[in-house]
Chain A
Amino acid sequence: MSAARKLAINRLRAGQLDNGAVDRFLERHEVPIVEGAKCTFLHRGDADEVHLVQRIVGLPERIPLRRLHGTDLWYLVLELPTGSRINYQLEVRRGEHSERINDPLNRHVSYSPVGSSSVCFAQGYTTPEWTMPDPDARPGELVDTVVPSRALRRDARVTMYLPARFRRTRAYPLLVVHDGGDFLQYAAAKAVLDNLIHRLDVAEVVVAFLHPHDRLVEYANSAAHARFVTSELLAALEAEFPLAGNRSGRCLLGSSFGAVASLATAFRSPETYGALALMSGSFVFTDIPTDHGGGPVFDPVVKFVNRYRERPRRVADRLHVSCGVYEPLITANRSMVPTFEAAGMTVRYVETRDGHNWENWRDTLRDTLSWIYPGPQKLIYE
Chain B
Amino acid sequence: MTRIVVLGPQRRPTLDTVVASLGSSIDSGGPIATVTAGWQEREPDDVELDGLLGGRSANLRLHARWLDALDRDPEYAAAELAHRSELDDLQELYLLQLDGALQALAEIARHGGPARTRAIAHSDAETVVRLVDERHLARVQELSADFAETWRPGERAAVAEHRDAVRHVLGKVSALVVAGGHVGVLLHVLRLFDVAAQVPGTVVAWSAGAMALTDRVLLFHDKAPHGPAHPEFADTGLRLLPGCVLLPHARRRLRTDDPHRLAVLASRAAPAPCVVLDDGVRIDVLTGGGLPEGTKVIGSDGRITA
Contact = CB atoms under 8 A, between A and B. Distances in A.
Contacts, number: 64
B272 to A, nearest CB: 18
Contact of B224 (A246, A378, A381): A378
Interface size class, chain A: 20 to 34
Nearest to A173: B88
Contacts of A380: 181-183, 208
Contacts of A242: 81
Interface in A356-378: 366-367, 370-371, 374, 376-378
A376 B182 contact: yes
B41 interface: yes
Contact of A244 (B11, B70, B85, B181): B85
A311 interface: no
Given A246-B89, A248-B89, A379-B183, A171 B81 contact: yes
Contact of B207 (A165, A246, A370, A381): A381
B71 A169 contact: yes
Interface SS of chain A: mixed
Q: Could you say which interface size class chain B belongs to?
A: 20 to 34
A299 to B, nearest CB: 37
B216 to A, nearest CB: 15
B84 A371 contact: no
Q: Which of A366, A367, A377, A379 has the most CB of B within 10 A?
A: A379
Nearest to B232: A378
Contact of A379 (B77, B182, B226): B182
Nearest to B224: A377
Nearest to B277: A381
B67 interface: yes
A242 B84 CA distance: 14
Nearest to A170: B81
Given A170-B81, A244-B85, A248-B92, A381 B229 contact: no
Contacts of B221: 377-378
Given A171-B81, A380-B182, A367 B220 contact: no
Interface in A134-166: 165
B208 A378 contact: no
B203 interface: no
Interface string B243-265: 00000110000000000000000
A379 B225 contact: no
Contacts of B224: 370, 374, 377-378
Contact of A165 (B41, B219, B229): B41
Nearest to A249: B85
A382 interface: yes
A380 B41 CA distance: 14
Interface string B208-229: 1001000000011100111001
Interface string A83-104: 0000000000000000000000
Given A248-B92, A371-B225, 5 more contacts: A348-B226, A379-B183, A381-B249, A382-B9, A382-B11
Interface of B: 9, 11, 41, 67, 70-71, 77, 81, 84-85, 88-89, 92, 180-184, 207-208, 211, 219-221, 224-226, 229, 232, 234, 248-249
15 contacts: A167-B67, A169-B70, A169-B81, A170-B81, A201-B225, A242-B81, A246-B85, A248-B88, A370-B225, A371-B225, A376-B182, A376-B184, A379-B182, A380-B208, A381-B181
